[in-house]
């Protein structure tokens, strides 16, 4: 359920936030027709209309320009395509009246018409219908086809509004390099995943979270440029694993042949009886990069509700975001000398003693459980919520922060 939302509403929130920032200029109606490195900067040619082209100079350019990325051509990465491609009609519907959808989210592996039924966020439903081998694309990609397929679910013009319909080709592919000098890729420009584990846009958001803080420190001169190489090495292994999982599930789902589907069902039922229950896995691990060699490094850190000076909410909102040193045994800042404390403060670092009765009250016990399960005393969280590293004692905070400083200052690829 945490993955189900209305994307246009999210885009509106992002747009409003961007427009509120004085440091951001949004140029609508422009097409990028050129991207190139030019010494210590990059130049982007943006065309508006037939004869209005201007060149924008910047220190870096990030191509977040989708599956048909123009910027990808400037990076020239090797492109790995798993050869998995199916056309699906995606239909967003707003029912006139509330209905109890049971199950809320359903992958129907019917060879007569593989279908996905999911929440589209509050007040919305989404259907996805696979194009069958005998169907023409133009035949499926129409409002009439959408209503015809929705009829089986008692959804029709009299009780619902068709908000959107579009045919997408689901693919599994990725670029093996997401950076070439001052030009980088993110989101669908760097990787394409079928939707069967709901990780397409999630992966793009994780790309942005991983890259943003690294670019920020490099632009401020607080980190060496090779830090940006860790963007690909960290993100690509996780993305590959998610794409391969989505393709594996897609090969189970996208079966329009009745005999093949019956054989698939027998195999799955046999496995289910042996295992008794299905267990959902955690996110695949990040690859090597900007981490300290320690327990839990690279894992997603916990976040839960805390209280500090009368304010209650999630840690991010109550204590702060960015680099964070946390411990259930005391304030990690006490273990830092003036030099390391100054460095940590210069990169926006915060420290917190998180305990049931600490200055930052652990209201649910999540932090106590995490530290207990990992067997560590201190954790250093990066701005993208990955664990940079941990220490077994409060005194180990010194080495942990020193390792972070060295990692940001490193000028070689080792």
Any residues with CB less than 8 A from the CB of 19 and at least 6 apart, and which?
26
Structure tokens at 4: 């189900």
Residue 271: pLDDT over 90? no
Number of Cβ atoms within 10 Å of the Cβ of 31: 12
Residue 1: pLDDT over 80? no
- Cα distances from 323 to residues 38, 217, 358, 374, 381, in angstroms, run 33, 12, 20, 20, 6
The DSSP symbol for 195 reads G
Q: Note the pLDDT tens digit of each residue in 353-363.
A: 999 999 999 99
Cis, peptide link before residue 143, omega less than 30° from 0: no
Structure tokens at 342: 């100054």
Residue 27: pLDDT over 70? yes
* Nearest-angstrom CA–CA distance, 218 and 180: 16
The pLDDT-based confidence of 230 (bands split at 50, 70, 90) is very high
Name beta bridge partners: 92. Answer: 126, 164
The pLDDT-based confidence of 323 (bands split at 50, 70, 90) is very high
The pLDDT-based confidence of 413 (bands split at 50, 70, 90) is very low
Residue 412: pLDDT over 50? no
- Please tell me the pTM assigned to this model: 0.90
Instruction: Please report the pLDDT score of residue 277 as a whole number.
Output: 56
* Nearest-angstrom CA–CA distance, 249 and 193: 11
The pLDDT-based confidence of 402 (bands split at 50, 70, 90) is very high
Instruction: Please report the pLDDT score of residue 370 as a whole number.
Output: 97
* DSSP, residue by residue, 124-173: -EEEEEEPPTT--HHHHSSHHHHHHHHGGGT--TTTEEEEEEEEEEEEEE
Q: Note the pLDDT tens digit of each residue in 181-197.
A: 999 999 999 999 998 88
The phi, psi pair for 373, rounded to 5°, reads -65, -35
Residue 282: pLDDT over 90? no
Structure tokens at 162: 């068709």
The pLDDT-based confidence of 279 (bands split at 50, 70, 90) is low
Q: Note the pLDDT tens digit of each residue in 96-118.
A: 998 888 888 999 999 999 999 99
* Nearest-angstrom CA–CA distance, 390 and 327: 10
The pLDDT-based confidence of 272 (bands split at 50, 70, 90) is confident
The pLDDT-based confidence of 49 (bands split at 50, 70, 90) is confident
Any residues with CB less than 8 A from the CB of 64 and at least 6 apart, and which?
185, 186, 187, 189, 204, 208
Instruction: Please report the pLDDT score of residue 414 as a whole number.
Output: 37
Q: Are 200 and 132 in contact (CB under 8 A)?
A: no
The phi, psi pair for 118, rounded to 5°, reads -140, 165
Q: Note the pLDDT tens digit of each residue in 134-160.
A: 999 988 999 999 999 999 999 999 999
Nearest to 8 by CA among 126, 98, 146: 126
What order of strands is seen across the sheet that includes strand 191-192? Answer: 106-108, 115-119, 125-130, 79-95, 160-175, 191-192
Residue 411: pLDDT over 70? no
What is the rounded average pLDDT for all residues in the chain?
93
């Amino acid at each position: 359920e945490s993955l189900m939302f209305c994307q246009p509403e999210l885009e509106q929130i992002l747009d409003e936030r961007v427009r509120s920032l004085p440091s951001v200029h949004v140029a609508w109606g422009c097409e990028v027709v050129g991207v190139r490195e030019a010494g210590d900067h990059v130049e982007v040619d943006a065309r508006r209309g037939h004869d209005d082209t201007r060149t924008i100079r910047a220190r870096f350019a990030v191509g977040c320009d989708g599956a048909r990325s123009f910027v990808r051509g400037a990076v020239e990465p090797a492109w790995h395509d798993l050869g998995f491609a199916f056309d699906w009609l995606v239909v967003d519907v707003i029912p006139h009246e509330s209905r109890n959808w049971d199950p809320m989210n359903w992958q129907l592996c019917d060879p007569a018409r593989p279908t996905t039924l999911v929440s589209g966020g509050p007040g919305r439903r989404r259907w996805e219908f696979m194009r069958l081998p005998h169907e023409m694309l133009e035949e499926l990609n129409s409002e009439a086809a959408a209503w015809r397929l929705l009829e089986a679910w008692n959804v029709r013009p009299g009780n619902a509004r068709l908000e959107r319909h579009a045919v997408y080709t689901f693919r599994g592919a990725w670029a093996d390099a997401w950076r070439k000098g001052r030009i980088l890729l993110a989101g669908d420009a760097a990787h394409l995943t079928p939707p069967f584990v709901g990780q397409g846009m999630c992966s793009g958001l994780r790309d942005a979270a991983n890259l943003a803080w690294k670019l920020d420190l490099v632009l401020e001169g607080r980190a060496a440029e090779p830090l940006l190489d860790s963007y690909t090495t960290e993100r690509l292994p996780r993305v590959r694993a998610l794409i391969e999982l989505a393709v594996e599930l897609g090969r189970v789902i996208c079966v329009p042949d009745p005999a093949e589907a019956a054989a698939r069902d027998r195999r799955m039922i046999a496995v289910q009886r042996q295992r008794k229950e299905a267990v959902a896995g955690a996110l695949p691990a990040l690859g090597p990069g900007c981490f300290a060699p320690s327990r839990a490094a690279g894992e997603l850190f916990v976040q839960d509700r805390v209280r500090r000076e009368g304010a209650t909410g999630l840690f991010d909102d109550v204590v702060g975001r960015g680099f964070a040193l946390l411990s259930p045994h005391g304030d990690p800042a006490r273990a830092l000398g003036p030099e390391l404390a100054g460095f940590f403060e210069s990169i926006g670092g915060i420290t917190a003693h998180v305990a049931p009765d600490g200055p930052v009250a652990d209201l649910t016990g999540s932090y106590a459980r995490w530290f207990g399960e990992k067997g560590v005393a201190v954790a250093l969280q990066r701005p993208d919520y990955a664990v940079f590293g941990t220490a077994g004692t409060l005194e180990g905070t010194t080495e942990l922060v020193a390792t972070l400083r060295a990692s940001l200052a490193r000028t070689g690829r080792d």
